A and B are shown apart, each in its own frame.
Chain A
Amino acid sequence: MASLDRVKVLVLGDSGVGKSSLVHLLCQNQVLGNPSWTVGCSVDVRVHDYKEGTPEEKTYYIELWDVGGSVGSASSVKSTRTVFYNSVNGIILVHDLTNKKSSQNLYRWSLEVLNRDSVPTGVLVMNGDYDQEKFADNQIPLLVIGTKLDQIHETKRHEVLTRTAFLAEDFNAEEINLDCTNPRYLAAGSSNAVKLSRFFDKVIEMRYFLRDGNQIPGLPDRKRFWGGTFKNLHYD
């Protein structure tokens, strides 16, 4: 069974948003009882059926690398973190729906990974400007997950969900909003589970079936969405 193919997916986000609980839920279908601070990187593995239910169904390992820390860490921590960013096939960006700063920091997180080849000084990541060029060339599939949905009051839900929809659009990614302490959000057959499955399928496709550099049809159209830098967008 160890001969299954593998893909590597990074799980990024500020500390305290619930990445460890999310990864535990995704891999072991159980709620994490005692979440504690992640030091360094913790990995877990999920067995995924690519193209489930079709004749081309194949099982893959999905490695979820949960990288701990914050965007404001010291540069020595950032330099050490870069070692985990090698040969990444997909990125899951996690933010806390009750904490706006964690959503804003997702831009800096994605920049940190996409710019991993350059020297990790504080300059590029600090001002949060979007390097549209770098992001337009990005071939790595992204998924945005918002946590702690249960703590958002009914009345504010619409406003919060509109904001996160903009966020997901910026990243050209699907979004899922859930509560990591409740497995029913990812129950089989729910729309969240379908989105998740589609994301993993896309990651596997990018890694194994499109090696010859062909673009996924439809990607050039999406470049039209981005006009200008993102520091002008306000989500308040």
Chain B
Amino acid sequence: MKTDKSRILQSQGNHFICFFGFGWLFFMRQLFKDYEVRQYVVQVIFSVTFAFSCTMFELIIFEILGVLSSSSRYFHWKMNLCVILLILVFMIPFYIGYFFVSNIRLLHKQRLPFSCLLWLTFMYFFWKLGDPFPILSPKHGILSIEQLISRVGVIGVTLMALLSGFGAVNCPYTYMSYFLRNVTDTDILALERRLLQTMDMIISKKKRMAVARRTMFQKGEVHNKPSGFWGMIKSVTTSAPGSENLTLIQQEVDALEELSRQLFLETVDLYATKERIEYSKTFKGKYFNFLGYFFSIYCVWKIFMATINIVFDRVGKTDPVTRGIEITVNYLGIQFDVKFWSQHISFILVGIIIVTSIRGLLITLTKFFYAISSSKSSNVIVLLLAQIMGMYFVSSVLLIRMSMPLEYRTIITEVLGELQFNFYHRWFDVIFLVSALSSILFLYLAHKQAPEKHMAP
């Protein structure tokens, strides 16, 4: 018995190390490609969060395939869950606060007390999060797993629904070439010319300022430096005639610099659109265009289903696998071994869901990271991403329960305790609908506004 258990633990340990290694490599090769890792603790935390999340998904697969005994699976589940919650609620928020405070020069000396303070603030709001939601039965204690998981679940499900909603709308929008604006080379050249003209105007104003400063400096050398009490009064009351001019020019320069930034960003946008137009003419581009039409139908279907679910207050009782099998058996008259097939099909379905959600999340995180990080804030942002990733995966486990047949759901229900699962599904539908509709509105406005800017003479 003992050697059995130790062997199981060892093999689990190997799997964990595999996942850890993958997370480590992803961090180094993809996320931190252009930066230097100076605080290894950040990389370790990211890889550990990733590894534990993957282990959770692995346990779901084990559940379906019936690997390991039921009691050892339960033990691993509980242990995994405890560790992940520890990381998500205690470790990562503390380190986010710590690195955030380290960036601020003033507070550098008292980093630790300030980061503890930030962490306590986080815990307070985290706790308060539970109040408006009907997620718990009152008989649980304060520091039980259920309390923590319910709150983590709310945040994670909100994130999932937001990403799903936006992704469902954005995916057809980017794939389909119907939405591509027509950009010609002359448009780009015209915009570039405007950009360079603006730069020239900034330069000529700065030249005037530099010369004015130089003459003032040279004049200042001739006079004595104002010393003593009366010198100070004199320098305050009489201002050199050049300095007022300078502030005026500086304001004009500020406005021109803002304009140059806008023009730069618009030019980048035009180049990106031109590349997409060229890409859409290739074979791969045409394939994605076709996929785009398919995804737009899928997106409309999902929005429709979410509305139905909310309006009719309906939560699906049976999972898609069992329902699919029922339909084939009852209506199409095909007889086959229900138990065998339900196990394998749910394994494949759940496997696909897990892999695509991990891949999708990692790609989105990478894009997000490239867009907003700089060398100063990279640590904080990566930790935030690790936090989002952990919460996302924990909530996926919560929601994936609905896609599995009844006999496999029990362990999740057991481990996660008495959560109101129906609430989470309803919450997901609501946020998904809100996110999808606002994305449609947002993309529509952005699309309408863009052509007018460039076609103007």
Q: Which residues of A contact B (CB under 8 A)?
A: 1-2, 4, 14-17, 27-28, 37, 39-47, 61, 63, 70-72, 74-77, 79-80, 83-84, 96, 99-102, 105
Q: Does B261 sit within 8 A of A, measured CB to CB?
A: yes
Q: How far is the CA of A46 from the CA of B207 in the complex (A)?
A: 8
Question: Is B260 a contact partner of A15 (Cβ separation < 8 A)?
Answer: no
Query: 24 A-B Cβ contacts within 8 A?
Result: A1-B208, A1-B211, A2-B208, A15-B374, A16-B375, A37-B374, A39-B265, A40-B261, A40-B264, A43-B199, A43-B203, A45-B210, A46-B210, A47-B210, A61-B207, A63-B203, A71-B34, A72-B370, A74-B268, A76-B272, A80-B268, A96-B375, A99-B375, A105-B34
**A-B complex: 5 closest residue pairs judged by Cβ atoms:** A40-B264, A16-B375, A76-B271, A76-B272, A45-B206
B252 beta carbon closer than 8 Å to chain A? no
Taking the nearest CB of chain A, how far is it from the CB of B352, in angstroms? 30
Our pick among A14, A71, A80 for the contact of B375 (Cβ within 8 Å) is A14
Complex-state Cα separation, A79 to B376, whole angstroms: 26
- Measured between beta carbons, the chain B residues less than 8 angstroms from A105 are 34
Tell whether, in the assembled complex, residue A72 and residue B33 are in contact, meaning their CB atoms are under 8 Å apart. yes
A72 to B30, CA, bound (A): 11
1/0 contact trace for B200-242 toward A, CB 8 Å? Answer: 0011101111110110000000000000000000000000000
Contact B203 A45 (CB under 8 A): yes
Which one of B34, B213, B267 lies within 8 Å of A101 (CB-CB)? Answer: B34
Known contacts A99-B36, A100-B36: A39-B264 contact under CB 8 Å: yes
Given contacts A16-B376, A43-B206, contact A74 B257 (CB under 8 A): no
Which of chain B's residues has its CB closest to A38's CB? B261
Taken residue by residue from 361 to 372, chain B's Cβ proximity to chain A (1 for < 8 Å, 0 otherwise) reads as 000000000100
| Separation of A39 and B213 alpha carbons in the complex (Å) | 26
On whether A101 and B261 interact (CB within 8 A), knowing A27-B210, A45-B210, the answer reads no
Q: Contact partner of B267 among A15, A70, A80, CB < 8 A?
A: A80
Contact of A16 among B271, B370, B374 (CB under 8 A): B374
Q: Provide the residues of chain B in CB contact with A96, threshold 8 Å.
A: 375
Q: Which residue of chain B has its CB nearest to the CB of A75?
A: B275
Chain A: minimal CB distance from B240 (Å): 16
Which residues, 263 to 278 on B, are CB-close (under 8 Å) to A? Answer: 263-265, 267-269, 271-272, 275
Cα distance A96–B36 when bound, in Å? 11
| Min C-beta distance of A21 to chain B, whole Å | 13
Residue of A nearest to B213 (CB): A28
The answer to the question of B319 belonging to the interface, with a C-beta cut-off of 8 Å to chain A, is: no
Closest approach, in angstroms, between the C-beta of A2 and any C-beta of chain B? Answer: 6
Check A79/B206 contact, CB under 8 A, given A28-B213, A42-B257, A71-B34.
Answer: no
Interface members, chain B 331-374 (any A CB < 8 Å): 370, 374
- Does B202 lie within 8 Å of A43, measured CB to CB? yes
A39 to B263, CA, bound (A): 10
Output the least CB separation between A46 and chain B (Å): 7
Cross-chain contact B271 with A14 (CB below 8 angstroms): no
Where chain A touches its partner, the secondary structure class is mixed
Please give the distance in Å from A148's CB to the nearest CB on chain B.
11
Contacts of A46 in B (CB 8 A): 210
- Kindly state whether residue B192 has any CB partner on chain A within 8 Å: yes
**Chain B residues whose C-beta falls within 8 Å of the C-beta of A74 in the assembled complex:** 268, 272
**Chain B positions 14-52 with a Cβ under 8 Å from a chain A Cβ:** 33-36
Complex Cα distance A84/B202, Å?
Answer: 14
Bound Cα distance A14, B268 (Å): 19
Min Cβ gap B3→A in Å is: 45
Assembled-state Cα–Cα distance A71/B35 (Å): 11
Beta-carbon contact of B34 and A80 below 8 Å = no
Name, among B204, B206, B260, the residue most crowded by chain A CB atoms within 10 Å (CB to CB).
B206
Set A16, A39, A61: member contacting B261, Cβ < 8 A: A39
Contacts of B207 in A (CB 8 A): 1-2, 4, 45, 61
**A74 to chain B: closest residue by CB:** B272
Query: A39 to chain B: which residues have CB within 8 Å?
Result: 261, 264-265
Q: A2-B204, A43-B206 are in contact. List 17 more A-B contacts (CB 8 A).
A: A1-B211, A14-B34, A16-B375, A27-B206, A39-B265, A45-B203, A47-B211, A61-B207, A72-B33, A72-B370, A75-B275, A76-B272, A77-B271, A83-B195, A99-B36, A99-B375, A101-B36
Q: Are B275 and A76 in contact (CB under 8 A)?
A: yes
Interchain CA distance A79-B268 in the complex, whole Å = 8
Quote the shortest CB–CB distance from A51 to chain B (angstroms). Answer: 18
Contacts of B257 in A (CB 8 A): 42
Contacting A at CB under 8 A, from B247-291, are 257, 260-261, 263-265, 267-269, 271-272, 275
How near does chain B come to A52, taking the closest CB pair, in angstroms? 13
For residue A179, give the distance in angstroms from its CB to the closest CB of chain B. 14
Task: Specify which chain A residues have a CB less than 8 angstroms from the CB of B65 in the assembled complex.
Answer: none
